[in-house]
Amino acid sequence: MKRQFLILIVITAVLLSGCTHQERAVSGHPVPTQEVRPDNVYNTMSETAAQYGITHENYPRIDGSTSTQGIAMAINRAMYRYSENDNRPEDVSKTVPSYKRLIAGEVDLIIVPYASSEVLALAQKSGVELEFYPVAAEALIFITPVENTTDSITGDQVRTIYLDYGIKNWSELGGPDKELIPICRNADSGSQSQLDNLILYDQPMHPNIQKNYVELTMEGMLELVAFYHNGGLNSKPTDSYALGYTLYTYLQNMNEVTGVGSRLKILSFEGVKPTEENIAKGSYSLADGYYAVVRKDLPEGHSARGAIKWLQSDEGAAAVRDRGFIPLK
């Protein structure tokens, strides 16, 4: 009798176990174990991140210009196993605002064109020293609609146009008898900083140009220059061609996305065409670069310095090149 009772207990236990297992299988909720990770799997770091001392917790705060967002993305993609991670750089503050954030200590690393004299003066006034590490070649270029027969422009002509508004017809540049419309960028843009640094030497642009022909985005500059003479959607075509400026790499990358490059002509500057080869070797005089910039007081072992070391490695240089940027020679 006692033996039968024990057998009954064992059978009951087995049945209950099977029932519990079946309920879990139906509900789809496994029993939690110590191996289940509570954090987001997409925040898993790569072996490259470990090599450079970068973790999800110490990942550097990165900002920069619109044109360099691809480099910030390259850093992020190298450091994480998955692209959809919490530190993916979805937005940037643009060139001058990102410099101001770095000077204020709000970010650790920015990727930008070289600083304007105004930014350098702000850093000095704030008691902050900046360190610049070149990561890619770049160049300021001048653009006009593809229909324009003008092929080149000089530094003196650019200064006469944008400082004095002294050239108003393309015939003075060897082109057609059409009005020259000089489009400019907002003061805190990277391309405007380059124009100020390399050609205008921080002299103020003519107020009529700033008032009537300013464009606030890089993409907008390309489109406005390409189609200004068509008059837009609600206007009649005009007897004019626009002149604008942008950065070489940005135009190449945007052309792959929108095809706007087929509607634009890049002007030679001082007789030299801004080709990738001429920019990389420095024979195009408006060639400069993109820089990874940090404060000098940033600790030596900081993760931002690890990111810079990766950018300077062969792997980092290849990733930057794959993003459409011109490698340093």
| Residue 235: predicted pLDDT | 77
| Residue 40: predicted pLDDT | 83
pLDDT-derived band at 233 (thresholds 50, 70, 90) equals low
CA distance 228 to 242: 6
Percent of the chain with pLDDT over 70: 87
Strand ranges for 105-159 from DSSP E: 109-113, 130-145, 152-153
Report residue 260: phi and psi, to 5°: -65, -25
Sign of CA dihedral 95, 100, 106, 107: positive
Q: Which residue has the tokens 């009954």?
A: 8
**Residue 8 clears pLDDT 70, i.e. is over it:** no
Residues 109-150: pLDDT tens digits? 999 999 998 999 999 999 999 999 999 999 999 999 999 999
pLDDT-derived band at 329 (thresholds 50, 70, 90) equals confident
| Residue 39: predicted pLDDT | 64
Pairing of strands 130-145, 264-269: antiparallel
| Residues 6 or more apart whose Cβ sits within 8 Å of residue 105 | 295
Give the chain's mean pLDDT.
Answer: 89
**Residue 5 clears pLDDT 70, i.e. is over it:** no
Pairing of strands 62-64, 109-113: parallel
Beta bridge partners of 141: 246
Helix (H) or strand (E) holding 314: helix 314-322
State the DSSP string of 245-279. EEEHHHHHHHHHHH-GGGGEEEEEETTB---HHHH
Q: Which residue has the tokens 């900002």?
A: 63
> 193, 196, 199, 323: which is closest to 252 by C-alpha?
323
CATH code linked to domain 138-287: 3.40.190.10
Report residue 20: phi and psi, to 5°: -65, -45
Burial status of residue 45 (CB atoms within 10 A of its CB: 0-12, 13-18, 19 or more):
middle
Higher pLDDT, 35 or 215: 215
Residues 56-98: pLDDT tens digits? 999 999 999 999 999 999 999 999 999 999 999 999 999 999 9
**Residue 270 clears pLDDT 50, i.e. is over it:** yes
Q: Under CATH, to which class is 41-137+289-322 assigned?
A: alpha beta
Half-sphere exposure of 167 (CA within 13 A, CB side): 23
pLDDT-derived band at 211 (thresholds 50, 70, 90) equals very high
| Residue 21: predicted pLDDT | 40
Alpha-helical regions (H) of 31-171: 47-51, 69-79, 95-103, 117-125, 155-164
**Residue 202 clears pLDDT 50, i.e. is over it:** yes
pLDDT-derived band at 234 (thresholds 50, 70, 90) equals low
Q: What is the residue extent of each domain of the chain?
A: 41-137+289-322, 138-287
Q: Average pLDDT of 241-253?
A: 96
Higher pLDDT, 189 or 222: 222
**Tokens representing residue 113 in the block:** 């064109």
pLDDT-derived band at 194 (thresholds 50, 70, 90) equals very high
Q: Average pLDDT of 173-189?
A: 95
pLDDT-derived band at 12 (thresholds 50, 70, 90) equals very low
- 41-137+289-322 and 138-287 agree in CATH topology: yes
Q: Average pLDDT of 183-212?
A: 93
Amino acid at 50: A
> 57, 67, 65, 63: which is closest to 75 by C-alpha?
63
